[in-house]
Structure 1
Amino acid sequence: MVMGWISAGAYEVALDDGGKVICRNAKGRQLKTVPAKIADDPAVIGLRQLTEWLERHQRECVATVERWMIRSLPVPTAALVELWPDTAWRAALRDLVITDSGGVVAGYLRDADPVRGLGLVDLDGDSVRITPEQIRVPHPVLLEDLGELRDFATELDLRQGVGQLHREVFRRTVEDPTAHSVDTYAGGVYQRFRFLAGRAVSHGYRVRGGQAVCPVFEDGGTVEARVWLGDAGYDEAETGPLSWTTAEGSALTLGEVGPVAWSEGMRMAADLYAGRDIKSSEERA
């Protein structure tokens, strides 16, 4: 499907389904590329700016819904109804597992209507309607039957725009609850500090004071998972132990770390360790 054609000199231009600017001549034949002579035409520039805005909007929708999930925040049904007509928001929300305020799984979100409420596929595979005041998009580590929910979603051919069901999760292992760090993913060597810091930033983590930081809002407060990266003044860098602190910087024992903060912290540490120089890391071990 192509949006309406717009005049651009002796040609007409439009956006295709993928957001690419396409062009046809006066005879209606679509061209392989947009002719250079109309590259600066206001219609072409406007469509390209629209494409850039749509791409930013899509990323912002996904990032916002992901924040709701990581924080397991309550989301008013009225807000979902208002957002649903927007295709970018709908793509980010559709097929997510939602729960009621008590954490009980309601089903997979399929629709949001101002009159009929939320449309779901429930855990029996039936299409149902519910009208709660608010719902939650739970972090997958909080879903006890995560494996079954994944299998059922595959069976139903559901496609999530936000990685909820297939987000990598780490459940708490048997650790000393009085300890302050985990070294499962320590010792990953990088040839340059900037390579390690760059990987952290590219994966969405903050780099501050020689550490990769992942803030997580859980149980009404912010917890920061931290992995030591090293000193920017040195060429080589190595992933250090993973620890957690309050937002103010006070160290937490492992027993004080909630399930979401644990999972997201371990996920960050695993992400950074995965990019290591394997040969150098083995020689260092």
Structure 2
Amino acid sequence: MTWLDAGEGYEITLGEGGRVVARRAGGRELKTVPKALRDHPEVDRLKQLSEWLDRHADACVAQVDAWMVSSLPVPVELIVRVWPDEAWRAALRDVAVVGDDPDEVGFLRDVSADGGLKVVDLDGETVRLAPRTVTLPHPVLLPDLEDVREFAAELGLTQRVEQIHRATWLRPEKPHAETATEVREYAGGKYASRFGLAARATALGYRVSGGYATLRIRDGGRTTEASVWIGEPYWDGESETGALQWHDEDGRAVRLNELGPVAWSEGMRMAAALYAGRTIEEGGEA
């Protein structure tokens, strides 16, 4: 970013991490912004810009995460258009993508001048990918996930969006009872207050509605809502996690045997994350 005139013989700009830095005109950067500039309108505008850039970066990561969790088809043209934006580029770089062939996985590294994507395939070759759309597959859908993870480690890839190293749960091969609609594996996680449990759910990105922490999941064209009971909204005493359930768009409970792999994995991920924040009594199991 260019240096801006702040008067009094000073110039200011945004430095690393969105921090406002100052210097004497044409000189070296100062360790701190001089007191005379701290209330300067240009300094305030740069701070507001920094806050907006942070929100924008978070929004880009959230959008790419939503594409990935839902395995939604994303137009290649859209990726090419947003790529020059540093925040979008950081969110998209190194994500695993799949084109027309679901078995051909590659890591997105760049876009090409002719409107395609440059990806590194699992043979370590950089290839051009130019279908109309690509998907950013949920890791539970990736074949040979452990091999993909090892390959990514060898390449030193770092993902802003938690994808290939995302915690996953596979639905047990042994069928559940035909009428089973809930999982209690992560029930009973005690918290000192319902507020603390709700705050953890919100901090993890889950929606709190009534007495539940919820998550909408699109899996194979079907949308379900996973929910974990966290206690009555205005209860100010101790609370604990309840059972995990899934409901369809009409509010009907979905049987466990009818759930897709992504819905199961993401629901279990939410329940496990809430349970992990429980109060551990002295001498209890971690």
TM-score by length of 1: 0.94
In structure 2, the partner of 1:99 is 98
SS in structure 1 of the partner of residue 124 of structure 2: coil
Name the CA distance, whole Å, in 2 between partners of 1:106 and 1:116. Answer: 19
In structure 2, the partner of 1:8 is 6
Alignment of 1:16-27 (within 5 A): 16-26=15-25
Change beyond 3 A, Cα 1:47–1:182: same
Does the CA contact (< 8 Å) of 2:20 and 2:33 recur in 1? Answer: yes
Per-residue Cα deviation, 1:233-277 (whole angstroms, up to 9, x for no partner): 250111111111112210011011111110010000000000101
In structure 2, the partner of 1:196 is 197
Name the CA distance, whole Å, in 2 between partners of 1:229 and 1:63. Answer: 24
Shift of 1:42: 2.3
Alignment of 1:208-223 (within 5 A): 208-223=209-224
Does the CA contact (< 8 Å) of 1:189 and 1:280 recur in 2? Answer: no
Does the CA contact (< 8 Å) of 1:81 and 1:114 recur in 2? Answer: no
What stretches of structure 1 of length at least 5 have no aligned partner? none
Instruction: Give the aligned length.
Output: 281
One-letter amino acid matched to 1:251 = A
Name the CA distance, whole Å, in 1 between partners of 2:108 and 2:123. Answer: 14
Per-residue Cα deviation, 1:107-134 (whole angstroms, up to 9, x for no partner): 1111112405110111110111121111
What stretches of structure 2 of length at least 5 have no aligned partner? none
Q: Identity of aligned pairs, percent? A: 51
1:274 paired with 2:276, answer yes
Does the CA contact (< 8 Å) of 1:183 and 1:242 recur in 2? Answer: yes
Per-residue Cα deviation, 1:36-56 (whole angstroms, up to 9, x for no partner): 221222221221111111111
SS in structure 1 of the partner of residue 43 of structure 2: helix
Change beyond 3 A, Cα 1:143–1:281: farther
1:57 paired with 2:44, answer no
Does the CA contact (< 8 Å) of 1:109 and 1:120 recur in 2? Answer: yes
Return 7-16 or 272-281, whichever deviates more.
272-281
Change beyond 3 A, Cα 1:249–1:267: same
Name the CA distance, whole Å, in 2 between partners of 1:237 and 1:33. Answer: 46
In structure 1, the partner of 2:124 is 125
One-letter amino acid matched to 1:240 = G
Does the CA contact (< 8 Å) of 1:74 and 1:101 recur in 2? Answer: no
Per-residue Cα deviation, 1:145-201 (whole angstroms, up to 9, x for no partner): 111111001101111121111111111123515211111101111111111111111
SS in structure 2 of the partner of residue 80 of structure 1: helix
Name the CA distance, whole Å, in 2 between partners of 1:119 and 1:30. Answer: 38
SS in structure 2 of the partner of residue 169 of structure 1: coil
One-letter amino acid matched to 1:270 = A
Does the CA contact (< 8 Å) of 1:150 and 1:166 recur in 2? Answer: yes
Shift of 1:17: 3.0
Change beyond 3 A, Cα 1:196–1:209: same
Change beyond 3 A, Cα 1:119–1:102: closer
In structure 2, the partner of 1:108 is 107
Alignment of 1:139-218 (within 5 A): 139-173=138-172, 174-178=174-178, 179-218=180-219
Name the CA distance, whole Å, in 2 between partners of 1:170 and 1:40. Answer: 52
